[in-house]
Amino acid sequence: MTAKILDGKLVARQIREELRDDVADFIQNNGEVPTLATVLVGEDPASEVYVRNKVRGCEQVGMQSRGFRLPADASQDDLLSLIAKLNRSKDEPIHGILVQLPLPKHIDAARVLQAVSPMKDVDGFHPDNVGRMVQGRPRYLPCTPFGIQQLLVRSGIEIPGRHVVVVGRSDTVGKPMALLLMQRGAEGDATVTVCHSKTPDLAAFTRQAEILVVAIGQPRFVTPDMVRPGAVVVDVGIHRTESGLVGDVDSAVNEVAGHITPVPGGVGPMTVTMLLVNTLAAARQQQ
């Protein structure tokens, strides 16, 4: 058995086509273009690629993007001052603010993300937005978990009643992923188990998963013996190795799983697309 591919590029393209029409309607009705501000500190090559992808995504759906860049040795106060300026921007509307992670080690990322106005927090990381998500009253959902949820739903994967195992408990993927899929409704209602580096006999849990989401940050960590035959496997990881880009899931899992996301071309395009969805939602909120 070879797993069917959950094509993130295809689904992301479908959502962007829908979004392009929604953005055009918003501009026509409000006389304002949804605008995303990207903030990049330093010259990390991977971060530069991610920001370029987000800028290109804005162009594709008719949004505007404005880039702001600080040197790697910029102080935390410099960055907080820039965010404060973007929060209150009036001369040129800025509806969403994206601070590209990771930040230099001398900057407290949690402090910076909390400084972004909850209304412009299109990453969905502000404590106010996280709390609203926990209560089932979301303003903006974190982009990677939101993208995974939409990839599953639009690919015809049933979530209600399924046992989902999430490997990883990060604030950006693992925790919000578990919260999203356990919410009531057709896009949730799953029974969710969260595993991490301190979970004993991790494979005993992953083999129970009907839907397995792997975001542990270790290349090829999940091997075929850890996967239930026919399971849906979502690989969130991406790592540069001598043999090319690989995920957190070993490629041999393709012979065991029923459905699997490719790396690249699976979760990544969905993450960027949901950022665009959140930016339009932010523009609407601010009207």
Q: Are 210 and 95 contained in the same domain?
A: no
Q: Are 162 and 229 contained in the same domain?
A: yes
How far, in Å, CA of 149 to CA of 157, rounded? 10
Inside any domain, residue 263: yes
Looking up residue 67, the CATH number of its domain turns out to be 3.40.50.10860
Q: Are 149 and 183 contained in the same domain?
A: yes
| Cα–Cα–Cα angle for 122, 46, 253, rounded to 5 degrees | 90
* Of 226, 277, 232, residue with least CA distance to 257: 232
Q: Are 200 and 107 contained in the same domain?
A: no
Inside any domain, residue 209: yes
Inside any domain, residue 171: yes
CA distances from 159 to 15, 152, 198, 218 (A): 20, 8, 27, 26
Q: Are 100 and 153 contained in the same domain?
A: no
The pLDDT value given to residue 209: 98
Looking at the structure of the chain, the number of domains it has is 2
What domain range is 88 assigned to? Answer: 32-117
| Per-position pLDDT tens, the chain of length 287 | 699 999 999 999 999 999 999 999 999 999 999 999 999 999 888 899 999 999 999 999 999 999 999 999 999 999 999 999 999 987 789 999 999 999 999 999 999 999 999 999 999 999 999 999 999 999 999 999 999 999 999 999 999 999 999 999 999 999 999 999 999 999 999 999 999 999 999 999 999 999 999 999 999 999 999 999 999 999 999 999 988 999 999 999 999 999 999 999 999 999 999 999 999 999 999 98
CA distances from 143 to 124, 180, 209, 229, 279 (A): 7, 12, 23, 29, 11
251 Cβ neighbours under 8 A, 6+ residues apart = 220
Q: Are 233 and 169 contained in the same domain?
A: yes
* Of 152, 143, 218, 137, residue with least CA distance to 183: 137
Q: Are 103 and 164 contained in the same domain?
A: no
Inside any domain, residue 137: no
Identity of the amino acid at 223: T
Q: Are 159 and 233 contained in the same domain?
A: yes
Q: Are 205 and 243 contained in the same domain?
A: yes
Q: Are 163 and 87 contained in the same domain?
A: no
Looking up residue 202, the CATH number of its domain turns out to be 3.40.50.720
Q: Are 208 and 250 contained in the same domain?
A: yes
Residues that are catalytic: 54, 100, 123
CB atoms under 10 Å from CB of 66, counted, come to 16
